Amino acid sequence: MTAVQRVVAVTPNPAVDVTYRVAEQRLGETVRVQEVIRRPGGKGVNVARVLAALGVPVVALQPVGGPTGDLVSAGLAQLGVEAVLVPSPVETRTTVAVVDDLSHPTLLSEPGGHQPPAVWDRLVAAVARLAVPRGWVVVSGSLPPGTPDGRMHDLVAAARDAGSRVLVDSSGPALLAAASAGVDVLGPNAAEALEATGTTGLDAAAEALLDAGAGTVVVSRGGDGLTAWTADRSRLDQPAVPGVTGNPTGAGDAATAGLVAALGRGATPADALREAAVTGAAAVLAPVAGEVDPDVLAGLADRLPTSGAPPLPTTPRTR
């Protein structure tokens, strides 16, 4: 397998992720928080942190502004993740996850503020500067409210003009804009794929996204695993690792990181899906989004309900 070229993980709408651990989530009552964790967040930031843990060269790119933007900047430096920050007059948003060991986490996600055109121009220029031939640019998460659809097209075009391949994990009009821009891989979850295309089945949704211009569509189905549809309309189904419980927040981002790491090494689509499933499962075992323990990957791979585990990374890991 080839060495992985640099990945640029773009978060158009970053956040400070706050995780509240409680004994039990109870709506309408005063609930005491047992533990508070604050980390730089947003889907692209989570992808960057997991790639760094896997030993993949990665740079996290995002606009930041205000005191919460300072927290994102300081947090990435503390975590040892290389970052390029585009200054913005818009305050970076906050998201809150309320977690217990009894039910699915409750997520409270601020929408973020509208970024002015100058910030978008600097973000696109940074993609053009940082993207490398045979590398990957991953654009993950929502776009700030009021963002013109053409901005997603600009990000994809800048990456492809630099010789990078592009994966976009977004939703709504941004997902369709990425497809029409000729993105190499679209990575929505099942609900996002159905909502963006107005279809009632995943096969139809994937067909619509491929027809719109996407090269490959990889849909995350949570505990049911992942499914990929390629340009020739082949379908690949990958079940999830069985018996994994914990905090699923950010598991899809970790799966995206595993997928890109595998594709960057030249893995087959089937092997890349298996690695994505394993990396996503590892994230469920972590206490907060954007973390995986590389030491658990081999054991999880052995539990995959497929004929053979993926060739996992052997590159030196960075923390």
Q: For position 122, what pLDDT does the model report?
A: 97
User: What residues contact residue 319 under an 8 Å CB cut-off, 6+ apart?
Assistant: 52, 53, 80
| pTM, full prediction | 0.89
Residue 310 in any domain: the answer is no
Secondary element (H or E) of residue 33? strand 33-41
Residue 308 in any domain: the answer is no
Q: For position 312, what pLDDT does the model report?
A: 53
| Closest-CA residue to 282 (of 244, 317, 315, 309) | 244
Residue 2 in any domain: the answer is no
User: Residue 60's domain is classified under what CATH number?
Assistant: 3.40.1190.20
- Is residue 34 exposed (0-12), middle (13-18) or buried (19+ Cβ within 10 Å)? exposed
Q: For position 315, what pLDDT does the model report?
A: 42
Residue 221 in any domain: the answer is yes
Domain range enclosing 130: 7-302
Structural domain count of the chain: 1
Residue 226: C-alpha distances to residues 189, 214, 222 (Å)? 9, 17, 8
For the chain, which ranges sit under pLDDT 50? 307, 314-319
The amino acid sitting at 209 is L
Residue 311 in any domain: the answer is no
Residue 61 in any domain: the answer is yes
Residue 319 in any domain: the answer is no
Q: For position 224, what pLDDT does the model report?
A: 87
- Beta-strand runs (E) in 51-200: 58-64, 83-87, 93-99, 106-109, 136-140, 165-169, 185-186
Q: For position 306, what pLDDT does the model report?
A: 67
Q: For position 1, what pLDDT does the model report?
A: 53
Q: Which residues of 92-124 are buried (b: 16+ CB within 10 A; e: fewer)?
A: bbbbbbbbbeeeebeeeeeebbebeeebbeebb
DSSP state of 189: B
Measured distance CA(286)–CA(281) in Å, rounded: 9
For residue range 41-94, what is the model confidence (pLDDT) as tens digits? 899 999 999 999 999 999 999 999 999 999 999 999 988 899 999 999 999 999
| Catalytic option among 154, 169, 253, 271 | 253
Q: For position 313, what pLDDT does the model report?
A: 52
Is-catalytic flag, 211?
A: no
- The side-by-side arrangement of strands in the sheet containing 15-22 is 33-41, 15-22, 93-99, 106-109
